[in-house]
Chains A and B, each alone.
Chain A
């Protein structure tokens, strides 16, 4: 028996947001039924071979709430025998695609954590990001979700958006805080190649705020959320005590998880592997009981160590040095002496008791820190 996390990818969206480079497809919801059938096939393949127990489940996308909710029901029923008691079961949702009925139904399936994409409070920003919902849609959905019994709601926000001012960002934070969201994620917008926003920026039609404003917004979020009782537990994540996302902690603690669905990633038995991104390809393989895996990476000891370090450093709890040394049988301070000296001298990391942590500046420059351990 192996306790792991499970990620399920639903790659459908009503319309793709302008900044999004995730594996999602617009207006293909009609394929949802065969897709979910393929998911069930893929899962049963794993369940035949392995004895997995899921301590967390994360249904992400895409937009899981865009497909007929009975399909989520089918999925959850099939997982029932493999769930650990008290498991965290999260689902992402778009406020424009839920109803009170559907939310009640999701809750009845045992889904106990709802992640809602708001991104920004201002209608003009929502429009410029290509979001399909309004602020009112969000407020309505949030209210329904609470009434449906969701006592763990997370809200996704974005900052450093085109035309976003510090005041707008402050307003967004205030509104979400006053709603009493249990968990808040704050992501700095990154232009990804291949997205519409990237093209618009390249053509000079859209400008991004500079790094200084980006960091000012980030600091504002950290300070405000802290003053309202939210703990920062990861670079982009804040939660009331006990509401940290246990599924995402699995990634950051470099533990094992299975990912099913198009383009999903898994880490099991010292390997990382990932599925075909294309829906049709995925359906045709998984639907026929074949492994839809498109790539696999066997992790060397060094690589695994590096992953453990840079993932753990994203967390405010930092890297547990004795745990690391036990797991890999190395002396951390000897092995990474040069990096430690340099990074400590620049004030980017801090050794606190038995943990290595990023400082505030270290969090701003985390990539520069991570590559020192490579």
Chain B
């Protein structure tokens, strides 16, 4: 039964290309509806992770309940569910979309449609969301809103005549956006009388209350004292508290169909709450669960090891906590000869990987050593068996390999036409296959390439940005696996293979990579008590060699006037520096050495 109450609810998200002003617009909406007083307002309130604010991007989605009195004189509840903007976080975007009926599509009036604008639009359409266009940054001198409107109509096929023209930064026409949300985004139409059906779209761990789940109630009601059931694992809990986010948790007596809020039920184990799962009433369950989410595909893998082996348990606990609200993070234990006990971890992309590493180091105070990122290779053995390999060390011996396949992505690059040549060069260097090019208008083009994923996980973004002065935008999706001539490149230090430095690379690039890797390591490894040969090898064949010369001198000449304390301090400092090194065989490696493979510019 559709209720009048639901007619006054709008559940929406904001989608945009990175930097088009999504978070700023969200701030303005919050400010305008007075949820947070101006004084308490810190910029971009929804980005509440330190890291997010520093990088100016949204990683974790958050939600907030706004109360808006519209021009029709009625009060509306607007539930804003924030979405991440970066290409790596497509999965998180789709999570928030499933909790909404509509999306505000923000497009920069000076930039127009970009690769992620399109990617996000397709996601929204997949989720049957109504799109409401907002053209931002109209205060800038180079703004061309009419042109952008036309672009929205031509490229996306969306009627842009109702688009709001705003400047989130200047707070211009924000009211119009709020009106537009009420007017153009459909209200929820759940059945309050039906058995409870609520979607978990996020969760986090609170040390006092256990796991808190962010939910969207589709049908029925949820209130304290009820017995709720997780449909995926059948576990049941008594509801302790429900409420809404303002954006702080604000307890309410009940959540009903159409509402967005949180539920706390003394859930101790983080593993029992699956984002995408459906919550129902244990005493009156619904027949079937919501479709949930497609399983995330981790595209990039790397080994994460504690710098100090004693931190292994802390690292595991930290990964477990992070995984709770980041279902895209995968990890399983692995052991490296060079690095000891750690975890092979899977990520959505390189940015996701960097963010997880930073969060582990900052929020959990861990000192990490990470290995070079890898993708998953499919190895078909001569006995017909197919295995997946993400850690180069696990590659079977050559004679057991029939053929190997690597993941290929379909890449979409949008760029001003003047950079087309530079981008083609770059893609060619990265073993890309040109598929197609379309002109969006006279000055902008969309390039379609197929690229091996392992060519873009290192520094493709950076290379693209530097070659196009930051104007090109990029998005990709997995296409599938293709046969490829791949080899495993090993690095030997002082004659011993260092497993954590091995990587898989296309045979045509092996020599260049090997050489550049050896050079990088020569810079990264400090002189030691003996000469250290650095060799890059494919199988038994050495393809590159460098040498770190032996340290010749490490002496304090003078003990002056009996000042032994100062000498001691210098030696202690030296010892400390040594402790931050990894002993690999007879060689001491600084932590950066393991990441030096990453910085191979070509």
Contact = CB atoms under 8 A, between A and B. Distances in A.
Interface of A: 7, 9, 22, 58, 60, 187-190, 211-212, 214-215, 235-236, 248, 251-252, 257, 259, 263-267, 272, 274, 295, 297, 307, 310-311, 314, 346, 348, 361, 363-368, 370-371, 374
Nearest to B559: A251
A265 B571 contact: no
Contact of A364 (B553, B559, B564, B572): B553
Nearest to A248: B559
B294 interface: no
A315 B572 CA distance: 20
B552 to A, nearest CB: 4
B562 interface: yes
A366 to B, nearest CB: 5
Contacts of B530: 346
B370 to A, nearest CB: 27
Contacts of B1: none
Interface residues of B, number: 24
B557 A9 contact: no
A367 B529 CA distance: 11
27 contacts: A187-B558, A188-B553, A211-B553, A214-B552, A214-B553, A215-B553, A235-B555, A251-B562, A257-B562, A259-B561, A259-B562, A265-B562, A265-B563, A265-B564, A272-B564, A274-B563, A274-B565, A295-B565, A297-B565, A310-B571, A361-B529, A367-B554, A367-B571, A368-B529, A370-B571, A371-B578, A374-B571
B541 interface: no
A88 to B, nearest CB: 15
Q: Name the 10 nearest CB pairs between A and B, nearest first.
A: A211-B552, A187-B557, A371-B575, A367-B554, A365-B554, A265-B562, A211-B553, A265-B563, A188-B557, A368-B554
Contacts of A364: 552-555
Contact of B574 (A252, A259, A348, A367): A367
B140 interface: no
A265 B566 CA distance: 10
B564 A371 contact: no
Given A310-B571, A346-B530, A366 B557 contact: no
Interface string B535-560: 00000000000000001111111111
B554 A348 contact: no
Contact of A264 (B559, B561, B571): B561
A187 B570 CA distance: 18
B435 interface: no
B39 interface: no
A369 to B, nearest CB: 9
B375 to A, nearest CB: 39
A374 B572 contact: yes
Contact of B555 (A7, A22, A367): A367
A248 B578 CA distance: 30
Given A310-B571, A346-B530, A374-B572, A367 B556 contact: yes
B59 to A, nearest CB: 41
B134 to A, nearest CB: 54
Interface string B464-485: 0000000000000000000000
B55 interface: no
Given A346-B530, A371-B571, A371-B575, A365 B555 contact: yes
Contacts of A346: 529-530
B529 A365 contact: yes
A307 B564 contact: yes
Contacts of B551: 211, 365, 368
A159 B127 CA distance: 77
B287 interface: no
B568 interface: yes
The interface centre, meaning the residue of B555, B559, B570, B575 with most chain A CB atoms within 10 A of its CB, is: B555
Interface in B407-452: none
Nearest to B528: A368
Nearest to B570: A367
Contacts of A188: 553, 555, 557
Contacts of A367: 554-556, 570-571, 574
The interface centre, meaning the residue of B554, B562, B564, B574 with most chain A CB atoms within 10 A of its CB, is: B562
Nearest to A252: B559
B562 A348 contact: no
A259 B554 CA distance: 28
Contacts of B562: 7, 251, 257, 259, 264-267
A365 B528 CA distance: 10
A189 B559 CA distance: 13
